[in-house]
Structure 1
Amino acid sequence: MSGITVRTLHHYEELGLLQPRRTRGGYRSYSAADLERLRHVLFYRELGMPLDEIGTLLDDPQRRPVDHLRSHRQRLQRRIDRLTEMLAAVDKELEADTMGTELTPEEKLEIFGAEYDPSWEGEAEERWGHTVAWQQSAQRTTRFSKEQWRAIKADGDAYLAKIAAAKRRGVDPASPEAMQLAEEHRAGVEVFYDCSYQMQRGLADMYLADERFSKTYDDVEPGLAQWIHDAINANADRHGAPAHDCTAWQ
């Protein structure tokens, strides 16, 4: 009935917490009063009270059963309050881990440099906010911490230096080496959203059509925007990807 073992019952008896009567056959017989006392013992034990303190409390003649219940309730309420505080702290940590930290304007300037323009965010959302790619990017980036953004920026800078070095060495955009660099480009994009070869073609076209993107590449190495455009398209051709069109972004 109580859910505890016979051994525990015997231990409580040895400590004087329970005093069942014995039958002629030597069996312990627990009365309704014994069960009520055991219920109090288990209540206090669940609250972490030492057994000797429980015995002292239960044997106090000045305390009525209702006093025990009030004491139970007070202790339980304190425990609930503490657990609620702990749960809130855990939820806060989980939220921080899951959602990451929104960068402040100062942090964006620090990480992305003086050339970063906050208006680009609004423009991008206006152009692509309805797309699956935008929704994926929004969901993923909210989990990024400041240090992750730093790492992403560092990886991007390292990649620009790598493709600039390839172009300076005269690597053909249609060569296996250049197409491998195009694969690395696509992997970098997929940090933010799933990028098919067809969608990657669209990005390559934008690097030439939008002078702001062209400048990002050409400031590192003149003609680099055209070079990575050609490498991306050569790699997409190798994989049989269709030509880019606007529906690829939907």
Structure 2
Amino acid sequence: MGEHGMPVGETAARLGLTVRTLHHWDEIGLARPAARSAAGYRLYTDDDLERLRRIVVYRELGLDLDAIRAVLDERGGDVAAQLRIQRVQLAQRITQLRELDEDLARMIAAQERGILLSDDEQRETFGPVWDTSWPAQARDAYGGSPQWQQYAERSASRSVDDWAAVTRSVSAFDDELGAAMDAGVEPGDAVAEALVERHREVFSPYFPVTRQMQVHLGRMYAADPRFAAHYDTIRPGLAAWLRDAIEASARAHGIDPDTARWE
């Protein structure tokens, strides 16, 4: 401390503040230095330093500057009441942080597992033919893709009932495909085109499906024995029919199925 007080830079360093912060508190009248040097520079007295220390303490407790001013300057001010208010706000923030922590834990688990249902819940929701190892296999195959990330983000917030609704939607769509085959609908027909549009809509809860991506999905349905078995159980030849309907729709929209990219 000099003869009349401590300079701004030294004061800031001693209290762990920035010079800019002290200048701001000076400008708003929260903590004005009481002295000046012969050259006109601000100097903080012992009383000023004590006020600054109190400001730092209350700021670390979470009070905003207006509340700190009330605590320090209002005669007869109820400091305990101000601190109680701050404690209530802190409790609310703690609750929010705990909820955020739970959300982050679910997001991490969804990125790692895909579906946040137990094995029994999966079998009950997706049916007895469901293999609980499929999500892990999908994670191994597609875990680095943007679509897996989108899928996991949506999965993180889904309950058993949410997944059951998705499953019902897919099952109803399968019935529509089977009915179209029974009615002799050909790929490229208006009805087939509508079903191709429905396909993207039905599968959008997993991740957004573009027309080019849809071409790849259609070919996978026909080529992968697991998908082919699923569709062919509904109607023999349905996997190939759906693939052909998707490709006919792609051509109608200016997309060559042979050059379609996963994008």
Q: TM-score range, shorter-chain basis?
A: 0.5 to 0.7
- Once residues 130 and 143 of structure 1 are traced to their aligned partners in structure 2, the CA distance between those partners, rounded to angstroms, is 20
- Once residues 37 and 240 of structure 1 are traced to their aligned partners in structure 2, the CA distance between those partners, rounded to angstroms, is 73
Q: Does 1:84 align with 2:119?
A: no
Tell me: CA distance 1:91–1:168, structure 2 relative to 1, closer, same or farther (3 Å).
farther
- Once residues 152 and 77 of structure 1 are traced to their aligned partners in structure 2, the CA distance between those partners, rounded to angstroms, is 49
Tell me if structure 1 keeps the 8 A contact 2:212–2:262: no
Which 5+ residue runs of structure 2 have no aligned equivalent? Answer: 1-27, 29-69, 111-115
- Once residues 36 and 107 of structure 1 are traced to their aligned partners in structure 2, the CA distance between those partners, rounded to angstroms, is 56
Tell me: CA distance 1:130–1:83, structure 2 relative to 1, closer, same or farther (3 Å).
same
Q: 1:192 is matched by which residue type in structure 2?
A: Y
1:168-247 alignment runs, 5 A limit? 168-244=182-258
2:74 equivalent in structure 1: 39
* Greater relative contact order (CA < 8 Å, ≥ 6 in sequence): 1
Percentage identity across paired residues of the two chains: 31
Tell me: CA distance 1:91–1:107, structure 2 relative to 1, closer, same or farther (3 Å).
farther
1:108 equivalent in structure 2: 122
1:248 aligns to what SS in structure 2? coil
Shift, 1:131, TM fit = 2.0
- Once residues 72 and 144 of structure 2 are traced to their aligned partners in structure 1, the CA distance between those partners, rounded to angstroms, is 66
Tell me if structure 2 keeps the 8 A contact 1:202–1:244: no
- Report the TM-score when normalising by structure 2: 0.61
> Over aligned residues, Cα RMSD in angstroms?
3.2
- Once residues 103 and 145 of structure 1 are traced to their aligned partners in structure 2, the CA distance between those partners, rounded to angstroms, is 8
Q: Does 1:165 align with 2:179?
A: yes
Tell me if structure 2 keeps the 8 A contact 1:217–1:225: yes
- Report the TM-score when normalising by structure 1: 0.64
Which 5+ residue runs of structure 1 have no aligned equivalent? Answer: 2-34, 45-71
Runs of 4+, deviation exceeding 6 Å: 35-38, 94-98
